[in-house]
Amino acid sequence: ELVPSIMSNMLNPDAIFSNNEMSLSDIEIYGFDYDYTLVFYSKHLHTLIFNAARDLLINEHRYPAEIRKYDYDPNFAIRGLHYDVHRALLMKIDAFHYIQLGTVYRGLSVVPDEEVIAMYDGSHVPLEQMSDFYGKSSQGNTMKQFMDIFSLPEMTLLSCVNEYFLKNNIDYEPVHLYKDVKDSIRDVHIKGIMYRAIEADIEKYICYAEQTRAVLAKLADHGKKMFLITNSPSSFVDKGMKFIVGKDWRDLFDVVIVQAEKPNFFNDKRRPFRKVNERGVLLWDKIHKLQKGQIYKQGNLYEFLKLTGWRGSKVLYFGDHIYSDLADLTLKHGWRTGAIIPELRSEIKIMNTEKYIQTMTWLQTLTGLLEHMQVHRDPDSQMILEEWKKERKEMR
């Protein structure tokens, strides 16, 4: 009887969720990241990154050509997973630093719970072994967390190469494998492999969103200032924005910054801005003002704040990386921030299913029964309690 009433209050997969009260009338300046914020990519992009990095492993790092038999699996990994660099294990760790048993993978195979508990002396991972905001650890990257959407191909490639070595009884150093895969994924970006492929076939890789221009134009019409800060290069951003917004996209933005090298952009005070001309050439002029219609490279947030005066809660910045895009801006500079989390749509759709609602309703009921019955110490009550605990564990 509870299910129909709960079903009537289902969440909207396209809703905006607020963690803090805010009036948009107080926002004067809107800032945006580019990748996975203003522009979204098709499923083909991760396959492209995976294949290109796999080929770099073979051609430049001399890995066995047989790893070409592995293809990208979009259903293998999700954002937020941790990777134990020394043990070559991919896993999910919760907010309290406990390994979620049943989620630990060595290669493409699940590691038994008993083995995980033996390796870690339980399921808790000490804080000093965990990554900080920027993926670094006080113990030499013992446990790396993958928070970027672009890291999905990296996790899958790591697991595939691990699987190949394990299946073929090849002795290898997990730390070297992690570094080589990391470098190969990085090179797909910095060597321009990904950018050139997308520019050559924009319609294949970029999802056209007709509402993007409408939203930006509406903000501009209401006198709002707008800026763009991205790690992507100038020509790549220009072609993508022309595709989704139009040739006049730069007229909508008051400041455009490319190759910002976030998160260093938000913390390093030493790097000055450089102007990029229409041919993509870097100029050597000293920057005294950030002008509308111009494109700037690198720089830092402190110089940005000094030149624009855009400080505090009148600024709302959108990005997809919770740590490197958003955390420092809120904690250090008081900006309002919005996280673009595309995974929420599919999660909410699952939460809205009748099966999920029935399961959660029964789990809550079981928890209530356990709380009520745990005071009874007689054998019959204890037997029922153990059955309920087992059922709850299986449902979870």
Residues contributing to the annotated binding site for Mg(2+):
33, 320
Residues contributing to the annotated binding site for GMP:
35
What pLDDT sits at residue 300? Answer: 95
Q: Is 29 helix (H, G, I), strand (E, B) or coil?
A: strand
Token pair, residue 214, equals 């409408």
Q: Which of 14, 26, 35, 328 is catalytic?
A: 35
**Residue 372 and residue 380: Cα distance in Å, rounded?**
15
Contact 144, 86 (CB under 8 A): no
Contact 182, 154 (CB under 8 A): yes
CATH of domain 2-39+209-344: 3.40.50.1000
**Residue 88 and residue 70: Cα distance in Å, rounded?**
18
Contact 108, 69 (CB under 8 A): no
**Residue 102 and residue 113: Cα distance in Å, rounded?**
6
**Residue 262 and residue 188: Cα distance in Å, rounded?**
18
Closest CA to 361 of 94, 353, 390: 353
Q: How many residues would you count in the chain? A: 396
The answer to whether 55 is a known catalytic residue is no
- The residue ranges of every structural domain in the chain are 2-39+209-344, 41-79+151-207, 80-147, 353-395
pTM over 0.95: no
Peptide bond into 112 cis (omega under 30): no
Q: What is the DSSP string of 329-394?
A: HHHHH--EEEE--THHHHHHHHHTSHHHHHHHHHHHHHHHHHHHHTT--SHHHHHHHHHHHHHHHH
pLDDT tens digits, 316-333: 999 998 877 787 788 888
Alpha-carbon separation of residue 26 from 105, 286, 315, 338, 342 (angstroms)? 47, 33, 9, 15, 26
Per-residue pLDDT of the chain (396 residues; tens, 9 = 90+): 455 555 556 888 888 888 888 889 999 999 999 999 999 999 999 999 999 999 999 999 999 999 999 999 999 999 999 999 999 999 999 989 999 999 999 999 999 999 999 999 999 998 877 765 544 554 555 889 998 899 999 999 999 999 999 999 999 999 999 999 999 999 999 999 999 999 999 999 999 888 999 999 999 999 999 999 999 999 999 999 999 999 999 999 999 999 999 888 988 888 999 998 888 788 898 999 999 999 999 999 999 999 999 999 999 999 998 877 787 788 888 899 999 998 888 889 999 999 999 999 999 999 999 998 888 889 988 999 999 988 888 887
Alpha-carbon separation of residue 194 from 79, 142, 200 (angstroms)? 20, 29, 10
Q: Which of 33, 238, 254, 328 is catalytic?
A: 33
**Residue 381 and residue 392: Cα distance in Å, rounded?**
16
Which segments of 103-260 are extended strands (E)? 105-106, 109-110, 143-145, 206-207, 225-229, 255-258
The answer to whether 268 is a known catalytic residue is no
Indicate the residue type of 363.
L
